[in-house]
Amino acid sequence: MAPTPSSKNHTTPTPSSKLHQTHVNSRTPQSKHRLNFNSAKPSPNPNSTAMKEGGTPPEHPVEVIGRIRDYPDKKEKSLSALQVNSDCRSLRVRTDIGYRDFTLDGVSLSEEEDLDEFYKKFVESRIDGVKLGDKCTIMMYGPTGAGKSHTMFGSVKQPGIVYRSLKDILGDGNEESDENSEKKVGVGTFVHVTVLEIYNEEIYDLLSTTNGGGGFAFGWSKACASKVKLEVIGKKAKNATFISGTEAIKISKEIQKVEKRRIVKSTLCNERSSRSHCMIILDVPTVGGRLMLVDMAGSENIEQAGQTGLEAKMQTAKINQGNIALKRVVESIANGDSHVPFRDSKLTMLLQDSFEDDKSKILMILCASPDPKELHKTISTLEYGAKAKCIVRGPHTPLKEKGTEDSSSTVILGSRIAVMDQFIYKLQMENKLKEKERNEAQKELMKKEEEMATLRAKLELVQGKGTELTEEQINLKVNERTQMLKNELEKKIQECQKMANEIVEMERRKMEERMFQQQQEFETLRRRLEDMEAELHRSRAESGSMEENTFAKRLQGIYSEDAGMVKSMDLDRSIDMDAGKRDVLVYKPEGNTFQAISGYPNISNLGEVEDPLFPNKSSLSTVFEEDEEGDDEGDTENLPVDEEVQKEVIEEKTIYSGLLDHDMSCLRTDPDHFSDLLKDSDVCMGAAPSRQALIQNIFTLCGNYRELSQHSVSPVPAQKNLEDIDSSVPIVKTIGEDYASAFAAEGLSNDLLPLCNPETIKKSPVNQTRMFKSSCDKENDSKENFNPTCGNLEVHVKWEAASKENPSVATTVKVGKDSSLADLRKQIELHLGADSPFTFLTIGDPSGAPMPKEQEVVTSVSKLPKCNNFSRGHLAYLRPVKGTQRFNHLPFTPLENMLPLTPKSHIKEVGTGLSPKIGEHLSRTPFVTVKRYLNEF
């Protein structure tokens, strides 16, 4: 037997001598320490379950108290995750996902309650029971560093449960004078104290050492080697050393001294972490009371303890084995298992009586840290305590005192069922509470989610608006819009270009068509010329007249070289139009001659008949006069034809009479003189134009020809030679500009053409053209000269209804006596051209029915009615073919064709600047056109 360090005597304690012993070396009390709780005794703590023993069958043998230590470092104190509820019995643990409540028998915060208060509040009552003979086990459970040892042993300033318990049991040494000392165990009360260490599933006697000298061991093996290992027999440690004494302070010091022999190790959780369980057994032999104080090793797992290496891990595992076994024992008892695994560890073997003895009470102090980092350990500890709290025990019926085991089992089971029902009810209530809280939390969560969604939508809206207003996006959109407009513009430009190309192409095609038509017309003219030649040949064969031959030769000469080339009736561009003066051909009626007068003032100079629209252009006024439709239309048929024609001629000449009657002398030259005149004047012949001008005139041929046809459809009958014109009427025409038209209009070809030298005419294509035109217009007149036999019958051709396009008298032609209307048609067509289709009126048909064309061949001209107003000749009425439009081919360029006719008002205005007679004539002459010269010609 090893002596305790503080033992003063070595006498073997006996029950009778215990009262006088202060320190006693003794053996483990063994079976004699087994005491029965007296169920009739009330618990000193009214809050403890012991108070219910007598009243209520179920009993909670395990009372669970929570002890929350201070923060390890108060400077870093943060919001505690542990909150003690107002009832001081439940603890709320807050986590990231919520909180959890643990209902215990009491909760103590070391911040608020020091060890003294804690002891008085939760431990003292138990000690009082022990003094009266109760058995009580106080276990310190919790993770390392939670304050188990601190609570058990305390410090210098604050003694722990060990000292306080001894003090309560043994008194502080002044009990003799204390009047209330009767409440104490009594004077002379002593205790037996045994201190055991349970390490690595071995039990060591801390009060005994192998070397007998005691001392502290360093290192596990050495420490263990110096300790006395005990065997467990039954539920007790066999041959354990104990000390006995009556002075609390001495015993307490001895206990704290040997406690230092416990194996400790510095861990991450605790600088001096207890690696073993320490069990202090206080027996109060005088009353049979027993107090077991158990300071358990930390309940942390191996990793948290920071142990490395296989041996260390094995040691930690074995240390935890006691905790795990105790946990299983608690759970088994709480669950009412038939088998409680007490023998799984040495710790539970020694604690078996504490759980099985009906009079034994267990006070489980759950030590926990308020540090949120240790929260999971705290929760695990509280769960363990909650399970231990479920341990119930039936009414006290000592096994040996029971009559039968069945009745005892029934009572125990019944009480367990009742407790379990209560526990279930409690859990259900808690569950309902939790569910209610969960629903509220869910509602709150949904509400928050809605708010979050709303805020998110607002945020997106704000962000969207923000982005809309950014300058970059505005520029981007502007650029996009600009690019789009640019593309559209380019597209439209392309379309316009395409349209312009199409228009140009169309105009080109029109020009080509027009050229083609002009060529066709030219071909027509050429064919006519051939017909004329053929007829001339035929006439020559018939008459053999030299004069006729001359005419034929002249015609041949004209057209043989340039046939199809020059047919222009246009003005001679070779004439200098810029000259301030013009050459004027003056007709002298008395001599029946023409005289060319150089330097005669330009009409524009005289009368300012210059087109204001083209001030820089020289202009030409071609003046004709015909029947006034309104005045003469009704009288045309009544008047004799000769008078009518005569009147027209006279009126036409009247236009010019005013120009010359004041100072112009009329000359009549012989043909030679006139020929010379033409040569000398260089006007009729003019300078020979270039070849290019010739070709250009070809293309103006048809247009100008039409123009002349439009305005001067030969109102003068062919037979109206110079002799037929009143000699008192002078004729003036501008030579050069309208030289040929003057010939055509005045029917001068009969007399003048023979006077012209054919060779000279050839040299002047323009004048050739004019001469030709004049000669064409006056075809019949020419024929009369060349083929007198053809002129046996003279036919006056008139339009049925006179109009601007169709003056009353179309022409007068001469045909052979045996000629048919078909022959007459040819003559008329030569005169009128192909642009004036017509039909003959049926002879003798007063209704004026048109004559079928096939009858023209079989109808003789001689059958035409005689013309009474003429000494000879017949009268033929023509009717324009309906639906035909004359001059369907406009003669000028599109621009020229758009030029309006010179308004009468303008003519009047211009006329006022002329001599009174000219103005008078111009103002009443409706057929005045202003023709523009083109520079390119």
Ligand X SMILES: Nc1ncnc2c1ncn2[C@@H]1O[C@H](COP(=O)(O)OP(=O)(O)OP(=O)(O)O)[C@@H](O)[C@H]1O
Q: Which residues are annotated as a binding site?
A: 142-149
Query: In the complex, what is the shortest distance from the CB of residue 140 to ligand X, in angstroms, rounded to a whole number?
Result: 7
Closest by alpha carbon to 199, among 233, 229, 241? 229
Q: Which residue is nearest to ligand X (CB)?
A: 147
Q: Which of 129, 133, 145, 689 binds ligand X (CB under 6 A)?
A: 145
Backbone angles phi, psi at 524, to 5 degrees: -60, -45
The stretch among 148-156, 741-749, 760-768, 875-883 that binds ligand X (CB under 6 A) is 148-156
Q: Which of 367, 702, 790, 914 binds ligand X (CB under 6 A)?
A: 367
What are the strands, taking DSSP E only, across 666-817?
Answer: 732-734, 793-799, 809-815
Query: In the complex, what is the shortest distance from the CB of residue 276 to ligand X, in angstroms, rounded to a whole number?
Result: 9
Q: Are 52 and 152 in contact (CB under 8 A)?
A: no
The stretch among 146-154, 377-385, 572-580, 649-657 that binds ligand X (CB under 6 A) is 146-154
Is 297 a binding residue for ligand X by CB under 6 A? The answer is yes
Q: Which of 125, 149, 592, 768 binds ligand X (CB under 6 A)?
A: 149
DSSP 736: T
Q: Which of 270, 782, 808, 923 binds ligand X (CB under 6 A)?
A: 270
Closer to ligand X by Cβ: residue 24 or 81: 81
The stretch among 80-88, 147-155, 285-293, 316-324 that binds ligand X (CB under 6 A) is 147-155
DSSP 790: G
Q: Is 467 exposed, middle or buried (0-12, 13-18, 19+ CB in 10 A)?
A: exposed
55-74 residues near ligand X, rule: CB under 6 A: 69-70
Residue 34, sorted as left (phi over 0), alpha (psi -120 to 50) or beta, turns out to be: beta
Tell me how far apart the alpha carbons of residues 246 and 806 are, in angstroms, rounded to a whole number.
Answer: 170
Is 144 a binding residue for ligand X by CB under 6 A? The answer is yes
Element (H, E) at 597: strand 593-601
Q: Is 622 exposed, middle or buried (0-12, 13-18, 19+ CB in 10 A)?
A: buried
Q: Which of 45, 49, 200, 274 binds ligand X (CB under 6 A)?
A: 274
What are the strands, taking DSSP E only, across 269-322?
Answer: 273-274, 277-284, 289-295
Torsion angle defined by CA atoms of residues 370, 376, 378 and 379, in that order, rounded to the nearest 10 degrees: 130
- Give the type of residue at 197: E
Tell me how far apart the alpha carbons of residues 578 and 183 are, in angstroms, rounded to a whole number.
Answer: 162
Torsion angle defined by CA atoms of residues 267, 268, 271 and 272, in that order, rounded to the nearest 10 degrees: -30
Query: In the complex, what is the shortest distance from the CB of residue 120 to ligand X, in angstroms, rounded to a whole number?
Result: 16
Closer to ligand X by Cβ: residue 267 or 836: 267
The stretch among 140-148, 323-331, 774-782, 825-833 that binds ligand X (CB under 6 A) is 140-148
Closer to ligand X by Cβ: residue 68 or 793: 68
Query: In the complex, what is the shortest distance from the CB of residue 371 to ligand X, in angstroms, rounded to a whole number?
Result: 12
- Give the type of residue at 624: F
Tell me how far apart the alpha carbons of residues 707 and 730 are, in angstroms, rounded to a whole number.
Answer: 25
Is 750 a binding residue for ligand X by CB under 6 A? The answer is no
The stretch among 41-49, 139-147, 163-171, 474-482 that binds ligand X (CB under 6 A) is 139-147
Is 150 a binding residue for ligand X by CB under 6 A? The answer is yes
Is 146 a binding residue for ligand X by CB under 6 A? The answer is yes
The stretch among 137-145, 402-410, 467-475, 883-891 that binds ligand X (CB under 6 A) is 137-145
Closer to ligand X by Cβ: residue 60 or 327: 327
Is 110 a binding residue for ligand X by CB under 6 A? The answer is yes
Q: Please report how many Cα atoms fall inside a 13 Å half-sphere around the Cα of residue 148, on the Cβ side.
A: 29
Closer to ligand X by Cβ: residue 275 or 874: 275
Q: Which of 23, 131, 135, 148 binds ligand X (CB under 6 A)?
A: 148
Query: In the complex, what is the shortest distance from the CB of residue 165 to ligand X, in angstroms, rounded to a whole number?
Result: 17
Q: Which long-range contacts (CB under 8 A, 24 or more apart) does 537-540 make?
A: 539/783, 539/786, 539/787, 539/789, 539/790
Number of residues near ligand X (by CB under 6 A): 17
Closer to ligand X by Cβ: residue 64 or 571: 64
Tell me how far apart the alpha carbons of residues 192 and 28 are, in angstroms, rounded to a whole number.
Answer: 9
3-state secondary structure of 495: helix
Task: Retrieve residue 877's tokens.
Answer: 């009425």
Q: Are 856 and 821 in contact (CB under 8 A)?
A: yes
Closer to ligand X by Cβ: residue 148 or 874: 148
Query: In the complex, what is the shortest distance from the CB of residue 313 to ligand X, in angstroms, rounded to a whole number?
Result: 17
Closer to ligand X by Cβ: residue 74 or 465: 74
Tell me how far apart the alpha carbons of residues 732 and 652 are, in angstroms, rounded to a whole number.
Answer: 11
Binding positions for ATP: 142-149
Closer to ligand X by Cβ: residue 110 or 593: 110
Is 298 a binding residue for ligand X by CB under 6 A? The answer is yes
Q: In the complex, which residues of this chain contact ligand X (CB under 6 A)?
A: 69-70, 110, 142, 144-150, 270, 273-274, 297-298, 367
